[in-house]
Chain A
Amino acid sequence: MSKDIAIKVEGLSKQYLINKSASLKSDTLYGNFISSLRNLKNFTQKKEIEEFWALKDVSFEIQHGDRVGIIGRNGAGKSTLLKILSRITPPTKGRIEYTGRMASLLEVGTGFHGDLSGRENIYLNGSILGMHKHEIDKKFDEIVAFSEIEKFIDTPVKRYSSGMYVRLAFAVAAHLEPEILIVDEVLAVGDAAFQKKCLGKMEDVSTQEGRTILFVSHQMNTIQALCNKALVMNSGKISMNVSKTDEAIKHYIQLASVASQTDLANRKDRSGEGKIRVTDINYFHKDTPTDELICGQECSIYIDYECNDSIHLNAITVALAFYGDDGILYTVLGSEFTGVIYNNINGKGTFVCRINKLPLMEGTYLLNVSLNQNGLMQDWVQEASTINVIAGDFYSTGKVTPATHRSILIDNSWSKL
């Protein structure tokens, strides 16, 4: 292992066995006894165990002081990789080598106890993350200052607001001094100002102290802001090895647009209760179907759905999130925001989202779609669909905002007093 390599991963694989015939009962001794009896009785029928490789033959090297983003869709194996790296679960095959102290933040505030005060929780959480008492003593004032909760340090954390809780939790983690820091989307919490502070802290840790950071996020802009390198994972394998962040993100977007071409109804990488599901997304320019939309023109998005049961569903809302191929979220359109909640939904049908004047600039966009019932997620598909937007005369002046200033367009007028 050469000197400037911080982490070396070779042929890492992780297999999970999924017992398909398992019911909840096989988690009890009785249930296990019964199912083994059943297996004895009809031993011709094989026990249905499905092998599932969450990671398959993953190899890469990370150099000292690099901030590496790990990109991939839900179920690509990112979390499994982090869990193996942080020694939470063992690999089925392969090996990992690294030197120095590694700390993982797969969750902020691991082990926080609501009945304990902020002070007691700093010591508890710090020691869970592997800090010694004298290290925490030394950093205590810094931690409290960073978290901005000086006044409440002796109050039980169950009385904290969620923001205070997260700030305190991150503050402890940020003052760990590991050689290698593994972070899993913990920044998705807290207000924008604090998120920025956290990112800044992580950048400092890496650039000034020369520490290695591995960072998993769904937000491409966060990856872009924080990481100097990235690797892309897809269904348990490395799809693109550690390379420049921009290239990796580009590769990821390409992957995503390939995925979005597969039949939406048959996509497996979705989450939610599943009482109602999105089966297809189509685009209409005025009233004619199209695969390209024009900036500034009227268009409609047709979202086909299918219900699982024959029961009529009420309080259904639909939302679409538009991500650019640069990974930036441009806008979210939700039926709820416009005051539309669908009732009495069953069988198959189509929700229609009409946009009078498309405010998106030229480029490729990826859509995430979600269906909710009373705030409970029924279906959520990331990169459910891709759409090209071509340049159009948004302001009806023949003048176009330059493509380098890619953003949402807003109708506006100018005058002078």
Chain B
Amino acid sequence: MNKEKIIIDSTSTSFLSIKEIIRYKSLLNNLARRDFLVRYKQAFVGILWALIKPLINILVFGYIATKINSTVNAANNFVFVAAAMLLWQLFANVFNDVSNSILGNSNLFSKVYFPKIIIPISSILVCLVDFIISLVILIVLFFITGQEIRWQFILAPFFIFQTLINGLGLGLYFATINVKYRDIKFIVPVLLQLGLYITPVIFPTEFYFNRLPDLLKFIYALNPMLSAIDGFKYAILGTSIHYDMLYFYISTFCSLIFLFIGIKYFYKFERNFVDYI
């Protein structure tokens, strides 16, 4: 048993500590397990729901893409949309779940102390499991359309990780505001709806860049999901990037900025959450 001396005073603040997260790994594990088990309990097709929603989205948006973007053949259009859509859905789930996670679990941390960052991290884990299940769709489409297995596959986890970071960064920021202003739970779905249309999910990034003046291109590249999706499509399907790589780097850089801001903001108010709930 460790005899650690603990001091609590008015000035001490905590900050992201990997050591502490590791110490609470059983809590992390159990919270994620709970959310996952509860989600599909008493549902007839159970875990299949993790497939149905993205499948419908892919079918609808794949069809739209085929109708509008005739430069690519129909089968490829479906694979491109599937790759982008699954990653987008991962981002959307993480963003949404993280921003509701703190308020949704206020009954826990208003009764017991533990590092609150555990809660959003556990919601990421649940989203990640859903994502892995939904990858089945991509794998099936991948082989149906006769794609080849390439060495760039090893890059894919990096872009999945970037997607998680994007969702976490933005989610933490909104989760913090959500503690005081309950409007957030209505704002997030609206933002995600908008985001789906302006992010290169249905159409390739060039489709947007060709229609934008330079200044707007720069603003467009501030979207951290742009590089994640294009990178993922490159890793899985080998779609090369036909625009200035600068925009790709801007977007990647934004991921880190958003994560930093999200964590910073979260830890600024984290200690006082209980007083606002």
- A residues sitting closer than 8 Å to B (CB atoms) are 16, 27-30, 32, 83-102, 104, 106-107, 110-111, 113, 115-116, 120, 123-124, 127-133, 136, 177, 179
Contacts and interface: CB of A to CB of B under 8 A. Distances in A.
B182 A111 contact: no
Nearest to A87: B113
A177 B27 CA distance: 17
Interface in B109-126: 109-114
Contact of B183 (A30, A91, A116, A128): A30
A131 B9 CA distance: 25
A104 B37 contact: no
A84 B113 CA distance: 10
A27 B6 contact: no
Contact of B10 (A29, A90, A102): A90
Given A27-B182, A99-B4, A120 B112 contact: no
Interface in B180-239: 180-183
Given A92-B10, A116-B34, A128 B112 contact: yes
A91 B10 contact: yes
Contacts of A97: 5-8
27 contacts: A28-B181, A28-B183, A29-B181, A30-B183, A32-B181, A83-B274, A86-B113, A88-B109, A90-B271, A95-B8, A96-B7, A97-B5, A98-B5, A99-B5, A100-B2, A110-B107, A111-B108, A111-B112, A113-B38, A116-B34, A124-B31, A127-B31, A128-B30, A131-B26, A132-B26, A136-B26, A177-B1
B6 A130 contact: no
Query: Which of B10, B29, B37 has most chain A Cβ within 10 Å?
Result: B10
B232 to A, nearest CB: 34
Nearest to B38: A115
Interface of B: 1-10, 12, 24, 26-27, 29-31, 33-34, 37-38, 41-42, 107-114, 180-183, 271-272, 274-275
Contacts of B24: 127, 130
Contacts, number: 118
A96 B9 contact: yes
A29 B183 contact: yes
Contacts of B108: 110-111, 128
A116 B34 CA distance: 8
A83 B112 CA distance: 9
A96 B6 CA distance: 8
A88 B111 contact: yes
B6 A102 contact: yes
Contacts of A16: 275
Contacts of A96: 7-9
Contacts of B9: 91, 94-96
A350 B1 CA distance: 61
Top 4 nearest A-B pairs (CB, nearest first) are A95-B9, A87-B113, A127-B27, A96-B8
Contacts of A111: 107-108, 112
B34 A120 contact: yes
Nearest to B9: A95
Contacts of A27: 180-182
B110 A95 contact: no
Given A84-B8, A94-B10, A106-B111, A100 B26 contact: no
Query: Which of A85, A90, A93 has most chain B Cβ within 10 Å?
Result: A90
A67 B2 CA distance: 22
A89 B24 CA distance: 19
A89 B274 contact: yes
Contact of A106 (B3, B4, B112, B183): B112
Contact of A129 (B6, B112, B182): B112
